[in-house]
Amino acid sequence: MINYFANNLWQMWAIICVFCLIIELSTGGFFIICFAVGGVVSGVASLLGVDFFWQVVVFAVSSLLCIFTVRPFALKYFRNHQGPDRVSNADALMGRIGTVSQTIEAGGYGRVAIDGDDWKAESENGKEIETGARVKVVARESIIITVSEVQ
């Protein structure tokens, strides 16, 4: 049994690698992925017949090297690729053009479709905007957008 375990340590390293990749998907900090890289390198060392103690050393060294060399470049490229003032989520709606999907009542609310999403909307000037009109998002308050009609 011990001999079987010693000959198949690469499977343990593969499981560690996959587990780390799954955790990385939920965190996105490019930190846990370095341990996945260490698992791959240790798995290769296992297949080459390296003793378990040295596999652990290889795992630790390769993970640390990845943390201090690869991670800073990954963070720089992926986090700042579109600039430091990049907007996301609902803030990215500002200035977007949409179509009124439900008439925006005068002084009330309606619905606007933007890229397949339907948003509760109000008119910027309080006037009615008919269904099918093209509008531009000029403001957002919580989940309600304020729009102006585009000519």
79, 111, 131 — which closes off a domain? 79
The verdict on residue 84 lying in a domain is no
pLDDT band, very low/low/confident/very high, at 76 (cuts 50, 70, 90):
confident
Measured between alpha carbons, how far is 6 from 39 in angstroms, rounded to an integer? 16
Spatial neighbors of 109 by CB under 8 A, at least 6 apart, are: 120, 121, 122, 144
Query: Total structural domains in the chain?
Result: 2
Residues 88-97 pLDDT 10s: 567 778 889 9
Domain span at residue 129? Answer: 89-149
Measured between alpha carbons, how far is 29 from 72 in angstroms, rounded to an integer? 11
79, 110, 131 — which closes off a domain? 79
Residues 12-32 pLDDT 10s: 999 999 999 999 888 877 889
The verdict on residue 25 lying in a domain is yes
Does 95 lie in the same domain as 131? yes
pTM for the predicted model, two decimal places: 0.51
